[in-house]
Structure 1
Amino acid sequence: MNPVLLHLGTPARGERWQTLLPRLVPGLTVRLWPDMGDPATITHVAAWAPPDDLFATLPNLAMVFSVGAGVDQLRADALPDHVALVRTVEPGLIVEMADYATLAVLALHRDLPRYLAAQRTGQWAPQPVTAKGARRVTVLGLGAMGGAIATQIAALGFPVTGWSRRPRDLPGIDCRHGADALPNVLAISDILICALPLTPETRHILNAATFALLPRGAAVVNMGRGGHLDQVALLAALETGQVAAAMLDVTDPEPLPPDHPLWRHPRVVLTPHVAAETDIDGGARAVAAAILAHRAGSVPPGLVDRSAGY
């Protein structure tokens, strides 16, 4: 049976993939939701957040692709064990995430939230500048994206510590790992960046206890998932000054309700989940590489360890 990929997403991406993917994967057909044809012919699905009951209707499903870097939004628990779950590994996505982290670190390092608030009230209020070498940055998560973020920030002259669940080794980065190491890492984090996958273990990892361990006046960047952040705890830490400022690209829910205090907080910069967007052609190439690897019996790039959640 020739493979058939069902695409759920933007029409522009779907139409492009219908043309491009069969060139990259001989014999592949791409169908666009909701025109799926016979469900028994569907072998692959590419989506961000498909309907909850979709997978149960596809008896010959072999692979599911997240069209982004995360998979927490997919109903992985509804997938049979033999179905491979793959996240997008696309170079442009990694570059954009590292660029957003750079934007956030420089904005927080140079007190941009304070200056934006001063501008709104007509205040001319210069602040002293801290040398980059004295501003310690920590990246939580050292996978493909977190590693690129840490490397790019270090190249700017900031001392960078990286923390991950498992050991990592990155040139120029103080790499630490494991739950026991986290408190000491937080204690030296003037700017804390969350680039972790969202799992039951990492949900609300940015919480009151975490903020209390940071140096007073630290700043927080969340570019992972909204579920990483306890928003009530952040507001409380901002109120006391334990956290001086935050830059958030993700929230829970998205978007926030119109009356949520984070919208108008003078020391919070919000962006609407725009840190990175998968390039249409690059995403197609990533999907093709995974299908061909799976067909050849090798490990597909981006294969998710279902037990770990990433």
Structure 2
Amino acid sequence: MSLNLLFAARSERWSTYERPLRSALEKAGFGDATLAMDLPPKDVDYIIYAPNSRLQDFTPYTRAKAVLNLWAGVEAITGNETLTIPLARMVDPGLTKGMVEWVTGHVMRYHLGMDTDILRSDAKWAPRTPPLAQERQVVILGLGALGAEVARTLVGLGFNVTGWARSPKDVTGVTCLHGEAGLAEALALAEIAVLLLPDTAATENTLNAKTLAQMPKGAFIINPGRGPLIDDAALQAALDSGQIAHATLDVFRVEPLPADDPYWSHPKVTVTPHIAADTRASTASEVIVENIRRGEAGEPFINLVDRALGY
């Protein structure tokens, strides 16, 4: 009996994913699988899922073996009480590479003072010698797949990298801290802080008035993780006081960022439109199909979500 795979995402994503998914299925020996956006719930074996799809009640899918998320973020689905089968989040090699490149670019921008060095005709000609990477402390908040890979890349460029996570982690070349005391220790070093934590009740407002004050005066913040990681009012106050020199924000509590949001006009904020990293259909399809292969072979799924932790 061939597999029935439900693609439960918005219709505009179907044209992007159909061909890469079919190609990955063919390579894995599932060329006869039925892949569609509309299947009888009782016949579905796997649900390829985006949390913003219409499917929110998983109760009718009595045969389904797993929900395979197309997004790295799962905060919009982990609390769904109708979802009782395994849920796998997306850890996409293409997304990871995109995130590494985006973060590295902005770390280098801050490290070298590129914004300052771009001169206009009315600017003062003032040559200076930028510091070396070995003279800069970078802190990564969040050492999951994305954070760990970003940290390793920055270590390779010569930066002093400290990583923090809620639980103990081990990343070669990175000073790894954890827990509340570890967060304070990490932030005290953070000339440049990169936020790559998941969005959970425990991580909301990780950067707040107290923790922002623990950072070195004139520090920089880069947030490609999740909007709720930052207390927005506290960050704006820290920017206004000079405690934080500048922030580059790619994610926000409300997206698109409302036209009247203060971040748009703040001279010490760079806004980017949630572009730091996106799932690549070609590489993500291979991850999805690998989990289908594992499910059919009776092997453990990869990238399983811990419902208690929320990621």
Q: What is the TM-score with the length of structure 1 in the denominator?
A: 0.90
* 1:18 CA drift (Å): 5.4
Q: How many residues get paired?
A: 304
Gaps of 5+ in 2: none
- CA–CA distance in structure 1, aligned partners of residues 122 and 261 of structure 2: 25
Matching of residues 71-82 of structure 1 within 5 Å: 71-81=74-84
Match of 1:167 in 2: 168
Mapping of residues 81-230 of structure 1, within 5 Å: 81=84, 83-114=85-116, 122-124=122-124, 126=126, 128=128, 129-230=130-231
| Deviation per residue, 1:138-162 (Å, 9 max, x gap) | 0011111111100111111110001
Aligned to 2:100, the other structure's residue is in SS state helix
Q: In the alignment, residue 42 of structure 2 is paired with which amino acid?
A: A
- The SS at the match of 2:83 is coil
User: 1:299–1:126: structure 2 CA closer, same or farther, 3 Å change rule?
Assistant: farther
Structure 2 residue identity aligned to 1:231: D
Residue 297 (structure 1) aligns with: 298
Secondary structure in structure 1 of the residue aligned to 2:102: helix
- State the shift of 1:134 in Å: 2.2
> Scaled by the length of structure 2, what TM-score is found?
0.90
Task: Could you tell me which runs of 5 or more consecutive residues in structure 1 were left unpaired when the two chains were aligned.
Answer: none
Structure 2 distance, partners of 1:2, 1:192, is 49
Q: Separation in 2 of the partners of 1:109 and 1:127?
A: 16
Assess if the C-alpha contact under 8 Å between 2:65 and 2:295 holds in 1.
Answer: no
Matches of 1:252 and 1:93, distance apart in 2: 21
Cα distance in structure 1, aligned partners of 2:180 and 2:270: 29
CA contact (8 A) 2:57 2:82 kept: no
Q: Is the 8 A contact 1:22 1:29 kept in 2?
A: no
Is residue 61 of structure 1 aligned with residue 68 of structure 2? no
AA aligned opposite 2:33: L
- Is the 1:89–1:302 contact (alpha carbons within 8 Å) kept by the matching residues of 2? yes
Cα distance, 1:84 vs structure 2 = 0.9
Structure 1 stretch displaced more, 245-254 or 4-13: 4-13
Instruction: Tell me if the contact between 1:88 and 1:302 (Cα under 8 Å) persists in the aligned partners.
Output: yes
Cα distance, 1:251 vs. partner? Answer: 1.0
8 Å contact from structure 1 (residues 55, 79) kept in 2: yes
Query: Per-residue deviation at 1:17?
Result: 4.4
Cα 1:295–1:37 change in 2 (3 A) is: closer
Percent identity of paired positions between Structure 1 and Structure 2: 34
The CA distance in 2 between the partners of 1:153 and 1:79, in whole Å, is: 41
Contact 2:21/2:286 (<8 A) preserved = no
Quote how far apart the aligned CAs of 1:115 are.
Answer: 5.5
Structure 2 vs 1, CA of residues 127 and 41 (structure 1 numbering), >3 Å: closer, same or farther? Answer: farther
Equivalent pair of 1:96/1:276 in contact (CA under 8 Å):
yes
Q: Which residue of 1 aligns with 2:6?
A: 6
Residue 127 of structure 1, CA deviation: 7.4
Q: CA RMSD in A?
A: 2.2
Structure 2 CA distance for aligned equivalents of residues 61 and 125 of structure 1: 66
Whole-Å Cα distance in 1 between the matches of residues 267 and 125 of structure 2?
15
Q: Is the 8 A contact 2:70 2:89 kept in 1?
A: yes
Q: Retained in 1: the 8 A contact 2:103–2:150?
A: yes
What letter matches 2:110 in structure 1? L
Could you tell me how far apart the structure 2 residues matched to 1:209 and 1:19 are? 50
Q: Any idea what the Cα deviations from partners look like across 1:209-233, whole Å, max 9, x if unmatched?
A: 1111101111111111112121111
Distance 2:299 2:154 in 1: 34
Deviation at 1:176, TM superposition (A): 1.4
Counterparts of 1:21-40 in structure 2, within 5 Å, are 21-23=24-26, 24=28, 26=30, 27-32=32-37, 36-40=38-42
Q: Tell me how far apart the structure 2 counterparts of residues 272 and 29 of structure 1 sit (CA, whole Å).
A: 36
| Distance in structure 1 (CA, Å) of the matches to 2:187 and 2:5 | 44
Deviation larger for 18-27 or 300-309: 18-27
